[in-house]
Amino acid sequence: MNLFSARIYKWIVSVFVLSIIMLFLSSCSETDKPLIKAEKINLTLAITTPESVKEEMIWDSIINQYMDINPKVLIHIEYLPADNSTWRSNISTTLATATAPDIFQTRYTWSQVDFRNLLLTDLTHYYDEPNPYHEGEDWRDSFKHNIISKLRDSTNGVISGVSLYKYDSRVYYNKDLFDSLGIDVPKNWSEFIEIQEKIQDHKITPMAIGNARTSDSQFLWVVNHLINQYASEEISHMDLNKDNHINMNEIVGAIAQGNIDMENEEWNGFMPHIKKWSEYWVDDYNAIDSEGALNLFFNGETAMVMADSSQFKKLSDSESTRYQSFPLPVFDKGRDRLMNIDSGELDGVFSIPNNVQGKQLETAVDFLMYLSSPGPTHQLVNKMGRIPTTIHESSIKTSHTDKGIVMNLFGPEVDIKLYESLIEVGRLYLDNTISLKKYMIELNRVLEEISTRKMAENNWNERNGYGVRNNQ
């Protein structure tokens, strides 16, 4: 082979090899592109079991709308038990075993505890990022200020949850009946009792309250409402970080220092008034649940009913002028500092486990931003009757304030055992099985147990200010 032929041969071989390489690279590139495009980000969302098929369909609609906007995301929905004890147990177990859903419904104090136990994602810095579903405004600007403050853990400044709506309880009344009897909406507790006496004089049962189940929380919110007024001065001294909300560690510190004492008249003086009020409740209220109480009201068997957020939509969908509402009236103890407060408390709180990382985490946060944007919020408020935590939606026909209660001492968010004791032992007090003294001794016993346990779990003590830091 001469020199010219050799060069031609080498050139042909080089071209051939280069073509094979290019063909191979081109083939790899073309086959990889569809795989990337076809990849789906799978998220699991867990919510408490919907109370109706309608609520289930609303959640499905919200999720499907998000997936239409984000076709690469596939969201699977799971249901958590609604019972507080079982719900909390489920969350604790799945977090501990790293099997929790990517996003799950919780309570705001549970989210704080779980973050301190290194089980949840810190969402604080995300609140300063733009929400692409709300005109690019910072996410925190979607919420009312007091919502962010309450979500923040006062011991470390961390926000580990997102609250989409609040829980509330109000008195609904039959306006036609009030008008026919010449009754006005009461402005204080004395007037509240007086109108029930007048209603009873006309052989009508004044009030329907369900108290058969622990989950029938009307009694809880009556207590929380009145204790926040009756013990308002004592409660104000407990607000160590001055955020107008008594946090878990502040409650624990107050118990440890003897500043919460349910045997003291300053803390229990409202209880006999609740007991007196129960004389105007429907018979067998301890055997009727909240839905049964609502049905009695709808059937015209009572003039009023204590209703919670889950029932507001049913009442609002009824005859528009017949059923109206007001918060429990001011307790007129003769103190100028007493005020009218709505009992709204954070609900619809969602968190992300700390083992959700990368694209999963990015997508989970994006979905939470979507949930708090105007479209989904409108559905939660106007179709499900929830009380909004965002600035772009108003409550339906309820005239709620943003104030809310300062201390939710007996809620399941604080301690489930205390919550259950308040209601279960409270039934015995209301039906005269036990005295107020025995009732308060039992509540004090549970409070002291809570304080001791939580101080040990969190290393809170008087020396470190029970973990309070001024970072709000």
φ and ψ at residue 26, rounded to 5 degrees: -60, -40
- pTM of the predicted structure, to 2 decimals: 0.79
Q: Which residues of 65-80 are buried (b: 16+ CB within 10 A; e: fewer)?
A: ebeeeeeebebeeeeb
From residue 86, give the alpha-carbon distance in Å to each of 210, 249, 415, 467: 22, 24, 13, 29
Residue whose C-alpha is closest to residue 322's, from 300, 290, 307, 355:
300
Rounded to an integer, what distance in angstroms lies between the CA atom of residue 141 and that of residue 174? 38
Query: Is 55 a domain residue?
Result: yes
What pLDDT, on a 0 to 100 scale, did the predictor assign at position 332? Answer: 67
What pLDDT, on a 0 to 100 scale, did the predictor assign at position 208? Answer: 95
Query: Is 53 a domain residue?
Result: yes
From residue 214, give the alpha-carbon distance in Å to each of 5, 83, 211, 345: 96, 9, 7, 17
What pLDDT, on a 0 to 100 scale, did the predictor assign at position 3? Answer: 41
Could you report the per-residue pLDDT of 379-399, keeping only the tens digit for each?
888 788 788 888 875 554 444
Query: Is 225 a domain residue?
Result: no
What pLDDT, on a 0 to 100 scale, did the predictor assign at position 30? Answer: 36
Q: Count of domains in the chain?
A: 1
301: tokens are 């068997």
Query: Is 151 a domain residue?
Result: yes
Query: Is 141 a domain residue?
Result: yes
Could you report the per-residue pLDDT of 270-328, keeping only the tens digit for each?
999 999 999 999 998 989 998 999 999 999 999 999 988 778 778 877 665 588 888 88
Q: Which domain holds residue 369?
A: 41-165+347-388
Q: Contact at 8 Å (CB) between 330 and 339?
A: yes
Rounded to an integer, what distance in angstroms lies between the CA atom of residue 146 and that of residue 133? 22
Query: Is 110 a domain residue?
Result: yes
What pLDDT, on a 0 to 100 scale, did the predictor assign at position 138? Answer: 92
Residue whose C-alpha is closest to residue 65's, from 163, 133, 158, 141:
133
Give the residue carrying structure tokens 């109108």: 195
CATH number of the domain bearing residue 108: 3.40.190.10
Query: Is 61 a domain residue?
Result: yes
pLDDT string in tens for the chain (472-residue length): 544 454 444 544 454 544 544 444 444 433 233 222 447 899 999 999 988 888 899 999 999 999 999 999 999 999 999 888 899 999 999 999 999 999 999 999 899 999 999 999 999 999 999 999 988 889 999 898 788 888 999 889 999 999 998 877 889 999 999 999 999 999 889 999 999 999 999 999 999 999 988 887 789 889 988 898 888 889 989 988 888 889 899 999 999 999 999 999 999 999 999 999 999 999 989 899 989 999 999 999 999 999 887 787 788 776 655 888 888 888 766 544 444 555 567 888 999 999 999 999 999 999 999 999 999 988 888 788 788 888 875 554 444 444 567 888 998 888 889 999 999 999 999 999 999 999 999 999 999 999 999 999 999 999 988 987 644 4
Query: Is 70 a domain residue?
Result: yes
